[in-house]
Structure 1
Amino acid sequence: MDRLSIYGTEVESRLWLGSAQYPSLAQLSQALRQSQAGVITLSLRRQAPEQQGGQQFWQQLQQLGLPLLPNTSGCHTVQQVLTLARMSRELFQTQWIKLELTGDDYNLQPEPLLLLQAVELLLAEGFAVLPYCTDDLVLCKRLYQLGCQVLMPWAAPIGTGLGPLNPYALRTLRERLPDATLVIDAGLGKPSQACQVMEWGFDAVLLNSAVAKARDPVQMACAFAQAVQAGRQAFLAGVMPATELACPSTPLPDTPFWLQEQP
């Protein structure tokens, strides 16, 4: 099987799902099961365990048997990140942490300079860091050089559903960081967009709003799962190069295409 390794742990699916905003816990569980999602992300800061049955919520997620990826959503300082990461490690018994450090509250863009500082400190404490970042090549190179095996660049600002706003930047990332595991995180709104980035060679996609806010979250999760699989298979098979010159699929031998009889 075409499995994905995340810091030495094999993940069986390249579709990852967030756990927020679903109409019910039952629909979230169904979406995870029927789409065969590989990883669940969740936030301590946005869903306090002592409130609204949060502890029961997370216990049910753990019963699904999927890898949990806690995040530091809502943090604006390095100290907030460190505190939340330590709490998450203790509660969920995992070294994995999806590093989110907001620099702008309008588009929720990550703060690049503090992101680098936080990565260094988290790695020093033994965390397996998956930083949420923009598609900036220099920033991603620095994060990878610091020791982040997995990077999570956005396709567009979180929750917008706009799809890849800068295909050139994303494809450049994939080409210039061939050994890094790149997971598209944020901005995808349609299964076709997930298929597209997987065709470019990205290793996985993480979705939340596009699934949770759908009229039928379970059906949408399954649609994204099929799109991710199709995109991955297309990448492995080798997508034909685009060309502006027409080329007949069944050319006549020894005859220039412009002299061949047209129907």
Structure 2
Amino acid sequence: MTGSGKYNDFETMRGSIAASGCDIVTVAVRRVQTNAPGHEGLAEALNWSKIWMLPNTAGCKTAEEAIRVARLGREMAKLLGQEDNNFIKLEVIPDPTYLLPDPIGTLDAAEQLVKEGFAVLPYINADPMLAKRLEEVGCATVMPLGSPIGSGQGIQTAANIRIIIENAKVPVVVDAGIGTPSEAALAMELGADAVLINSAIALARNPVAMGQAMGMAVNAGRLAYHAGRIPIQALASASSPLTGTISS
């Protein structure tokens, strides 16, 4: 999954998204609705017959705001030809400094939106108990952060993400903080089902090349997860056999 914000222009955005090979692109409903800088014409800038739209509630500080914006997002998807799109990336973020999600507001909004037939993809802190509670109320995924949005700090919450993955019966998407392809690969090696990346691609010196690199890293990380890494050992283990060696 990729985001659609922070690009210098639509041509670069389209090229980066195509190069990444992503299946889903998230769009900030409120910013598109208000024609916020960089979002004018965004909804029309992509071919939504080929990409699945994930409307998000970015900018919402309360559960009530998020529920209202989610309803607008569903209508926006329908207007753009995705009649059966009930997806919503749920963000409830009252914190303006670190942009950390509100767990209580997120849970409250998720419960209501699930009742209204939404496929809810909640953005959360890497809290295993909250992840399980959101799964229990019917969310389609859980989306724990690797580190704060746009920080590029990488996967700082690996231990908790592992616990979430071990216990989840829904897909786990690592969202926020990934800065490099190696970090995207790490998220997949942990067992995540997907990652959502925006800033690391959009703000790279060459966004199109970074989009391609991220796509390759995600595939490599997923393949490595299924292949299974070797056990970590305290002592060295020779890679060449000791039998049949030449002796003096």
Superposition TM-score, scaled by structure 2 size = 0.91
| Post-superposition CA distance 1:79-131 (Å, at most 9, x none) | 11111011111111221000000142211111111111111100011110000
What residue is the counterpart of 2:197 in the other structure? 207
**Structure 1 runs (4+) greater than 6 angstroms displaced:** none
Q: CA deviation at 1:193?
A: 0.4
What residue is the counterpart of 1:232 in the other structure? 222
The answer to whether the 8 A contact 1:119-1:143 is kept is yes
Return 5+ residue gaps in structure 1 as ranges: 1-15, 255-259
The answer to whether the 8 A contact 2:56-2:88 is kept is yes
What percentage of aligned pairs have identical amino acids? 40
In the alignment, does 2:238 pair up with 1:248?
A: yes
Q: Secondary structure at the match of 2:33?
A: coil
With over 3 angstroms needed to count, the CA separation of the structure-2 counterparts of 1:213 and 1:65, relative to structure 1, is same
Q: CA deviation at 1:168?
A: 1.2
| Post-superposition CA distance 1:178-224 (Å, at most 9, x none) | x2200010000010000011111101110111000001100000011
What residue is the counterpart of 2:188 in the other structure? 198
Return 5+ residue gaps in structure 2 as ranges: 79-84
Where do residues 5-84 of structure 1 align in structure 2 (5 Å cutoff)?
16-48=1-33, 56-63=41-48, 65-84=50-69
Where do residues 168-179 of structure 1 align in structure 2 (5 Å cutoff)?
168-177=159-168, 179=169
Could you tell me how far apart the structure 2 residues matched to 1:114 and 1:53 are?
Answer: 28
What residue is the counterpart of 1:7 in the other structure? none
Q: Tell me which moved more, 236-245 or 210-219.
A: 236-245
Could you tell me how far apart the structure 2 residues matched to 1:141 and 1:59 are?
Answer: 36
In the alignment, does 2:204 pair up with 1:219?
A: no
Q: CA deviation at 1:240?
A: 1.2
Count, aligned residues: 240
Match of 1:112 among 90, 103, 106: 103
| Post-superposition CA distance 1:151-172 (Å, at most 9, x none) | 1110000011001112211112
In the alignment, does 2:176 pair up with 1:186?
A: yes
Tell me the C-alpha RMSD between the 2 structures: 1.9
Where do residues 144-155 of structure 1 align in structure 2 (5 Å cutoff)?
144-155=135-146
Could you tell me how far apart the structure 1 residues matched to 2:134 and 2:67 are?
Answer: 17
Could you tell me how far apart the structure 2 residues matched to 1:29 and 1:107 are?
Answer: 29
The answer to whether the 8 A contact 2:4-2:198 is kept is yes
Q: Secondary structure at the match of 1:68?
A: strand
The answer to whether the 8 A contact 1:119-1:129 is kept is yes
